[in-house]
């Protein structure tokens, strides 16, 4: 186990997982520019570390994953600076979504506004039963600005996305699971173990296969189905040039657990 701290983010490696914890509990882990920059830097550190196979993003304390953007900082923006800030947020979350390693959000409380948008940029979302989700920007005379209008409708469908964005109401974890916003819901005291277990599951897969699966789904979702099929076929073919594919097929035929090297 190793760790390294930023100002607003904690970074720790545990086995094959890197845990990135937003650490502003007094502000319910609200996102300001510095915090977003540190999340991006921590994620980049994990992605470049060959010993890390899975990233986990969570919030400090038991009240909030990320309760939203830092309203005090945002209130000082004018229209031009707000647009630039939105673009900064979108770029930062896009990099997280395009990570070549799986990213899991461990959602332990409020995931509102920018917090919900941050969770949606992760590949998988595991939530505590105490988690609450929403895009309440309309209550401030705003709209989501970190990709929420786009990722939410892709996850839950346009009708449900519009309802959450237009009425600005919160939903609980059970409803979030029902509409497909989260992948799994567990009791608060079980969240850490559930996420750790899922890290272990993903860490046992071929890193190359995971990377190419992420590319096929994320990049393929942005182009036509015909183009996406060509992308899938190309990535499928590339897998056959890897040692991991040979090991995986040998292990299957020999009825044993595969040991993937990432080559």
pLDDT digit string, tens, across residues 41-66: 999 999 999 999 999 999 999 899 99
Does 218 lie in the same domain as 108? no
Distance CA 238, CA 164 (A): 40
Confidence (pLDDT) at 4: 63
Q: What are phi and psi of 180, to 5 degrees?
A: 90, 15
Confidence (pLDDT) at 69: 86
What average pLDDT does the segment 175-189 reach?
Answer: 97
Q: Name, in order, each residue with C-beta under 8 angstroms of 195's C-beta and a sequence gap of 6 or more.
A: 56, 58, 104, 106, 126
Q: Is residue 262 part of a domain?
A: no
Q: Which residues pair with 64 in a beta bridge?
A: 110
Q: Name, in order, each residue with C-beta under 8 angstroms of 216's C-beta and a sequence gap of 6 or more.
A: 228, 231, 232, 235
pLDDT digit string, tens, across residues 197-236: 999 999 999 999 999 999 999 999 999 999 999 999 999 9
What average pLDDT does the segment 35-40 reach?
Answer: 96
Q: Is residue 258 part of a domain?
A: no
The CATH code of the domain that includes 237 is: 1.10.12
Confidence (pLDDT) at 72: 86
Distance CA 95, CA 100 (A): 10
Confidence (pLDDT) at 93: 97
Does 195 lie in the same domain as 237? no
pLDDT digit string, tens, across residues 105-150: 999 999 999 999 999 999 999 999 999 999 999 999 999 999 999 9
* Mean per-residue pLDDT of the chain: 95
For residue 3, is pLDDT > 80?
A: no
Confidence (pLDDT) at 48: 96
Q: How does strand 132-134 pair with strand 171-172?
A: antiparallel
Number of domains in the chain: 2
Domain that holds residue 231: 207-253
Q: Is residue 20 part of a domain?
A: yes
Confidence band for 70, pLDDT divided at 50, 70 and 90: confident
Confidence (pLDDT) at 177: 98
Residue ending a domain, choose from 184, 203, 222 = 203
The CATH code of the domain that includes 185 is: 3.90.226.10
Lowest mean pLDDT among 67-71, 101-105, 173-177, 189-193: 67-71
What average pLDDT does the segment 140-161 reach?
Answer: 96
Residues designated as active site? 117, 137
């Amino acid at each position: 186990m190793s760790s390294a701290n930023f100002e607003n983010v904690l970074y720790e490696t545990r086995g094959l997982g890197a845990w990135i914890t937003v650490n502003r509990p007094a502000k319910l882990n609200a996102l300001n520019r510095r915090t977003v920059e540190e999340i991006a830097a921590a994620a980049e550190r994990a992605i470049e570390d060959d010993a890390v196979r899975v990233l986990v993003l969570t919030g400090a304390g038991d009240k909030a994953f990320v309760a939203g953007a830092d309203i005090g900082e945002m209130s000082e923006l004018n229209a031009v600076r707000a647009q630039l800030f939105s673009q900064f947020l979108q770029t930062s979350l896009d990099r997280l979504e395009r990570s070549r390693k799986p990213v899991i959000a461990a959602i332990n409380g409020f995931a509102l506004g920018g917090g919900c948008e941050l969770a949606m940029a992760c590949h998988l979302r595991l939530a505590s039963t105490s988690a609450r989700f929403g895009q309440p920007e309309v209550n401030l005379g705003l709209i989501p600005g970190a990709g929420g209008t786009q990722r939410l409708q892709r996850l839950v469908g346009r009708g449900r996305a519009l309802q959450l964005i237009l009425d600005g109401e919160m939903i609980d974890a059970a409803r979030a699971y029902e509409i497909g916003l989260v992948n799994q819901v567990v009791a608060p005291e079980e969240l850490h173990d559930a996420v750790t277990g899922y890290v272990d599951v993903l860490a046992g897969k071929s890193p190359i296969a995971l990377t190419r699966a992420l590319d096929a789904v994320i990049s393929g979702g942005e182009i036509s189905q015909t183009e996406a099929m060509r992308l899938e076929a190309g990535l499928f073919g590339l897998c056959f040039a890897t040692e991991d594919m040979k090991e995986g097929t040998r292990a299957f035929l020999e009825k044993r657990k595969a040991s993937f090297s990432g080559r």
